[in-house]
Amino acid sequence: MSQMNRRRALQLLAALGTTGLAAGCGSDTDTEDTPSPRSPIKIGLIVPSIGPNKAIGDEITNGFQLFLSLNNQQLGGHPVTLVPAEEGDNAKSGQAAVDRLVKEGVLALTGVVSSAVMSGIRDTVEQARVPLIGSNASPTSLQSVVYIWRTSYVLDEPGEALGAYLRQQGVSGRIAIFAPQGTGSRDVIDGFRRGYEQEGHRLTEDPVLTSDDPNPGKGAFAGVIQKALGKRPDAIFCNYAGTAAVQFIKQLYDAGYEGKLYAPGFLTEGTVLSQLDDGEEGEQRARILKHGIETALNYSPDLNNTANRVFASAYRKTYNASPTTYAMASYDAAQVLDKAIRLVGDYTTPQAVNLALGKIGQIDSPRGAWQFNQPRTPQQKWYLRRVMLDGRLLSNVVVNELATLG
């Protein structure tokens, strides 16, 4: 087969996808622009550089750049230029980022923090026929895609893992549920309900949906917390992150709550614990250690496997901080691109890389081994983490495996 026919065959196969999903669209007019063997390539990085999601965007950037730094700034043997684009916080800003990066000739896209942005750019990515390896946002509504892959999770999975765990532990259905308004919270709560409501168990309390303000004030949750505690719940499940998580936890304990708090692991990721930790004699630390915060997540920096020892050590050395699930998923996004581009070989095109992504098999990840399932998301383990002292600091410590989902 001639080289031109070989490239044409790869592009046609890529348009059909790798798992029997709907075919992509668009014409093949760019065959003559195929990079020469081992030529430099561009990867587009879509993250927020301002606003409440900036911290997650920074983690995603760090994770991807760390993989490059450990691999001679190459993916699949090709020198890489990482081209950032501002994600913003809505579909319009996300679409503008995708359009600009595609015009710049990127081989693939990665990043995306916001579920609203991910949903908003779906059609733009599919029509561009450039693979997107998302490293955070993953709404359950994102179905039947050909060019969108995710190395993070699906939003309902941490709730499902915790719901099943609480049912198995015999926790009654009198669980107060708090979450900000939005599709992400609905996915999390639906997963929690699905995991818990089996074998005759039922949740008896309606969810309390609060403002989706990412920077709530010191009294933002006080009223709804007091009302819920008046019903004497046996446990509390919530879905907050960042500043909202800090304020919710503080106001919950200030209201006199004496039970356990359960949540997806984003509740205690990033700088949340350092903001809550008021030292060895601090009242806030004492409350957390006495009553207990347990979370479900697909990663913890204390996981004992070779891939994580390499990743976590290098991350701490480079950034002087412990890695989060956001950084880990972005590191894995770089890893799967490395494997896919290596499979393609010298003559890379976005369509050929997309085809190769379905053939890379198992990933030796810091979270533990995983692989893509049919919907192009990870089949992976979920871990139960408990906030405990690690030395002198509050930390998320893995205490058990909860489930394999995906």
Nearest to 262 by CA among 152, 329, 171, 392: 171
Gap between the Cα atoms of 300 and 380, Å rounded: 13
Q: Check pLDDT > 80 for residue 8.
A: no
**Over 90: is that where the pLDDT of 100 sits?**
yes
**Which stretches within 169-221 are classed as H helix?**
183-196
Between the two ends of the chain, the Cα-to-Cα distance in Å is 38
Mean pLDDT of the region 237-266:
95
User: What percentage of the chain has pLDDT greater than the value 90?
Assistant: 84
Mean pLDDT of the 68-94 span: 96
Please state, for a pLDDT cut of 70, what percent of the chain lies above it: 91
pLDDT band, very low/low/confident/very high, at 281 (cuts 50, 70, 90): confident
Q: Which residue stretches of 221-380 are H helix?
A: 222-229, 242-254, 272-276, 283-291, 306-319, 325-344, 350-357
Phi, psi (degrees; rounded to nearest 5) at 170: 80, 20
- 14 pLDDT above the threshold of 60: no
Residue whose pair of structure tokens reads 């893995």 in the numeric block: 398
Work out the average pLDDT over 27-56: 76
Residue position matching structure tokens 């890389």 = 353
| pLDDT, tens digit, 9 for 90 and up, residues 230-243 | 999 999 999 999 99
Task: Judge whether 378 and 150 are in contact, CB under 8 Å.
Answer: yes
Question: For 175-222, what is each residue's pLDDT tens digit?
Answer: 999 999 988 899 999 999 999 999 999 999 999 999 999 889 999 999
Q: Give yes or no for a contact between 121 and 352, defined as CB atoms under 8 angstroms apart.
A: no
**CA 141, chain centre distance (Å):** 15
For the cut 50, the answer to whether the pLDDT of residue 32 exceeds it is no
What does DSSP say about strands 78-86 and 74-75: parallel, antiparallel, or unpaired? antiparallel
Confidence of residue 38 (pLDDT cuts 50, 70, 90): confident
**Cα(102)–Cα(98) distance, integer angstroms:** 6
Q: Is the pLDDT of residue 3 over 80?
A: no
Radius of gyration of the chain (CA): 22
Residues sharing a CB contact under 8 Å with residue 29, sequence separation 6 or more, in sequence order? none
How many contiguous H segments (helices) and E segments (strands) does the chain have? 13, 14
Distance separating alpha carbons of residues 257 and 397, to the nearest angstrom: 23
Residues 260-264 have a mean pLDDT of 97
Q: What is the rounded CA–CA span in Å between residue 71 and residue 335?
A: 10
Distance CA 19, CA 175 (A): 39
* Per-residue confidence band for 33, with pLDDT thresholds at 50, 70 and 90: low
| Total count of residues recorded for the chain | 406
Give the Cα separation of 235 and 227 in Å (integer): 14
Mean pLDDT within 306-329:
97
Is the per-residue pLDDT at 164 higher than 50? yes
Q: Residue 126: is its pLDDT beyond 70?
A: yes
Confidence of residue 19 (pLDDT cuts 50, 70, 90): very low
Q: Rounded distance, CA 23 to CA 12, Å?
A: 10
The whole-angstrom separation of Cα 163 and Cα 197 is 8
| Residue 345 pLDDT > 80 | yes
Pairing of strands 393-405, 378-390: antiparallel
Q: Helix 325-344 vs helix 350-357: angle between axes, to the nearest 10 degrees?
A: 110
pLDDT greater than 80 at residue 144: yes
